[in-house]
C-alpha cells in the first residue's frame, strides 16, 4: 500500500497558507507539484498551468472534498511515471462544496500516471482512511508556518495501533 509519506517530499508541503479560495488552493498545489512533474521533460511539455487545468477539470466532475475539512484534488497525467502528491494546510478554511458543508483547510493534491487505475483508487482510499481519524487531522493542523519538514517527518511515522 502506498503511504502518503512516499508520495510527498518536504518541498511539496506548505503549512498555514493564507489562501482564501478553492481556485487559489488548487493553484498552490499545482505550483508545488510542477517542479517534480517538469523534471526530465522539455519545457514545452508541462507546466503548473497544465497541472492546474487537470485538477480543475477533475473538480468540475464533483468536489473532491472528503469532509472534516479535508480535500484530495487529484488527476491522471500521461507524462508522469509514478504517483506524486503535494500537501497544504490553510490558516482558514475555504468553501470547497464539501459534503458536510465544512470549509476545507487540509488539501492533498495527487497526480498519478494515466494507466494507474488500481493504485489511484488505493491511494485515494488510504488517504480517506488516514484523514478520517480526528487525532491525525488535529495533529496535521497543528504544524505552523515554516514547519513543512516537521510535518513531513510526522507523516513518516507509523500509524498508532488501533
Q: Which residue has the cell 459534503?
A: 99
Q: Is 120 a catalytic residue?
A: no
CA torsion sign for 62, 64, 67, 68 is negative
Catalytic residue, chosen from 68, 74, 79, 120, is 74
Please name the residue that has the C-alpha cell 487525532.
Answer: 135
C-beta neighbour count of 112 within 10 angstroms: 23
CA distances from residue 104 to 20, 85, 93 in whole angstroms, order as listed = 10, 17, 5
Q: What single-letter DSSP state applies at residue 81?
A: S
Q: Whats the size of the chain, residue-wise?
A: 162
Catalytic positions are 74
Amino acid at each position: 500500500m502506498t503511504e502518503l509519506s512516499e508520495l510527498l517530499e518536504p518541498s511539496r508541503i506548505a503549512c498555514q497558507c493564507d489562501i482564501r479560495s478553492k481556485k487559489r488552493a488548487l493553484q498552490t498545489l499545482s505550483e508545488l507539484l510542477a517542479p517534480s512533474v517538469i523534471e526530465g521533460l522539455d519545457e514545452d511539455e508541462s507546466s503548473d498551468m497544465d497541472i492546474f487545468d487537470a485538477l480543475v477539470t477533475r473538480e468540475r466532475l464533483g468536489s473532491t472534498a472528503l469532509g472534516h475539512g479535508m480535500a484530495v484534488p487529484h488527476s491522471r497525467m500521461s507524462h508522469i511515471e509514478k504517483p506524486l502528491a503535494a500537501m497544504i494546510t490553510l490558516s482558514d478554511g475555504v468553501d470547497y462544496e464539501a459534503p458536510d458543508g465544512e470549509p476545507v483547510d487540509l488539501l492533498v493534491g495527487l497526480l498519478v500516471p494515466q494507466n494507474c487505475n488500481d493504485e489511484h483508487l488505493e491511494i485515494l482510499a488510504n488517504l480517506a482512511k488516514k484523514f478520517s481519524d480526528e487525532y491525525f487531522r488535529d495533529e496535521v493542523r497543528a504544524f505552523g508556518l515554516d514547519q513543512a519538514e516537521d510535518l513531513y517527518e510526522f507523516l513518516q511515522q507509523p500509524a498508532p495501533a488501533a
